[in-house]
Amino acid sequence: MAWSKISKAPLIKSTKRVSPDGLWQKCEHCHEITYRQDFAANQYTCVKCSFHFSIPPDERLRHFLDGDSFLAMDEDLRSKDPFQFCDAKPYSQRLSEAWEKTGNYDAIVCGEGLLYQRPIQVGVFDFRFMGGSMGSVVGEKISRLYQRARQKRQPAVLFTASGGARMQEGIVSLMQMAKTCAALGQLKEEGIPFISIMTNPTTGGVAASFAMLGDINIAEPGALIGFAGPRVIKQTIGQNLPEGFQTAEYLFTHGMVDLICHRTQLRDKVGQILQILVGSP
Query: What is the average pLDDT value for the chain, to the nearest integer?
Result: 92
Distance CA 206, CA 195 (A): 15
Distance CA 155, CA 60 (A): 18
Segment 66-118, tens digit of pLDDT: 999 999 999 999 999 989 999 999 999 999 999 999 999 999 999 999 999 99
Segment 41-66, tens digit of pLDDT: 999 999 999 999 999 999 999 999 99
HSE of 39, CA atoms in CB hemisphere, 13 A: 19
Phi-psi region of 131 (alpha: psi -120 to 50; beta: other; left: phi over 0): left
Mean pLDDT, residues 131-156: 98
Query: Could you give the residue ranges of the DSSP H alpha helices within 154-247?
Result: 170-189, 204-207, 230-237
Please report which confidence band the pLDDT of residue 241 belongs to, taking 50, 70 and 90 as the band edges: confident
Candidate from 8-22, 192-206, 251-265 with smallest mean pLDDT = 8-22
Percent above pLDDT 70 for the chain? 93
Type of residue numbered 144: R
What single DSSP character describes residue 132? G
Please report which confidence band the pLDDT of residue 12 belongs to, taking 50, 70 and 90 as the band edges: low
pLDDT of 22 higher than 70: yes
What single DSSP character describes residue 28? T
Which residues, in sequence order, are bridge partners of residue 160? 198
What is the helix (H) or strand (E) element at residue 59, kind and residue range? helix 57-64
Please report which confidence band the pLDDT of residue 234 belongs to, taking 50, 70 and 90 as the band edges: confident
Distance CA 251, CA 260 (A): 10
Check residue 263 and give its pLDDT. 97
pLDDT of 182 higher than 60: yes
Burial class (CB in 10 A: 0-12, 13-18, 19+), 243: exposed
pLDDT of 261 higher than 80: yes
Domains for the chain: give ranges and CATH numbers: 21-53 (no CATH), 54-278 (3.90.226.10)
Contacts of 253 (CB under 8 A, 6+ apart): none
Phi-psi region of 248 (alpha: psi -120 to 50; beta: other; left: phi over 0): alpha
